[in-house]
A and B are shown apart, each in its own frame.
Chain A
Amino acid sequence: MLRKLLKHEFRATGRIMLPLYLILLATAIGANFSTRGLLETDLKVLDLLGGLLVMAFAVAIIAVCVMSMVVMVQRFYKNLLQDEGYVMMTLPVSVHQQVWSKLIVSAVWFALTIVMVCLAGLIMAFDIDILEGIGEVFHEIFQHVTAYYALNGTAIAAEFLVVCFLGCCAMCLHFYTALAIGHSFSGHKMAWSVAWYFIIQFAVQFVGGMLVTLLDESWLHHLLLGWTDNISGMAAVHFGMCVLIVGELVYAAIFYFLTTYFLKRRLNLE
């Protein structure tokens, strides 16, 4: 059933995101023209046109980034907490599947947005030399990481991706939690949702601050210091990544629990 939810979720979001990507790539081509000459001509008209094309490109980048966020938030609240919720929340699927389908689809669009913005950047600056240059730079970075830190570049990359995915999930779940709690109220649902977003934000920062203060000079602090003193730079990086991953996992899990609890037990459709 998760597969079917994903299919319809992609249908619903793709009709917004895919045309946006096309527009982004089109403006990138336009910007490419302008950087490769339009801006340096003597003709005022072409000059102006070149400027506009570059501006359109900048606007398109911002629009794609903003829209991927808007779509993430809107799909959750319009599809599950507004009228459509009557249909969605009575499907023969679990609340967990509902939340996962939203999370996965949002993560995919975020990743694709990053890829598309990079691609658009490349198109704008398209020039054989530049492309080759970039390829070399990446290759070198990778080699250096592997060589200098005698470290497994692939493992670091994998860890990095996991951190990104979890971070993305945690961010989405932060929004979902605020919306799910806010919409359990009988009135001013959206205002409550916004309020809860900041309440949660505050709570997270408060708890984070408390942890740092409490753990400072505590047994854990010393334990960690003891460890890190004894391990090499490479292992320290791995260790740091793992700590980050576990931290994000706990953070996301709390939000996940709250979201599903409120959707299951405190749902209050108008």
Chain B
Amino acid sequence: MKWQFSNDAPIYTQLIEQIKVGIVVGAFPPGERLPSVRDLATEAGVNPNTMQRALAELERDGLVFSQRTAGRFVTEDKTMIEQAKRGLAERHIKTFLEAMIRLGYRPEEIVSLLRQETGEEGSANGGSGM
């Protein structure tokens, strides 16, 4: 997994986000054990306390759970992972929309632009994949 951090938000919130992505894309598969806090922290190059805080937060949300001796595991609840995926998607869409509106696009224009980019619009009739 690749870890990247921006300057404007606390590190632990960025960690939460990136671990969520890891779970959604299957880098941390459902039901699997997560690496130890120290290993994860070393890998991400962050303070173990910060990693601990991020994982505790994820645990409160239910995406990971800990078993007293065995460590921390990713939830097996697929719908919960789906929900997380949806949540992440909404966040991305929201920032995207904000940026487009700042550029002066109206919602209909944005939708048609999106269609064009993804190849769904009839410009190259029938040339669309799915």
Direct contact of A and B (CB under 8 A): no
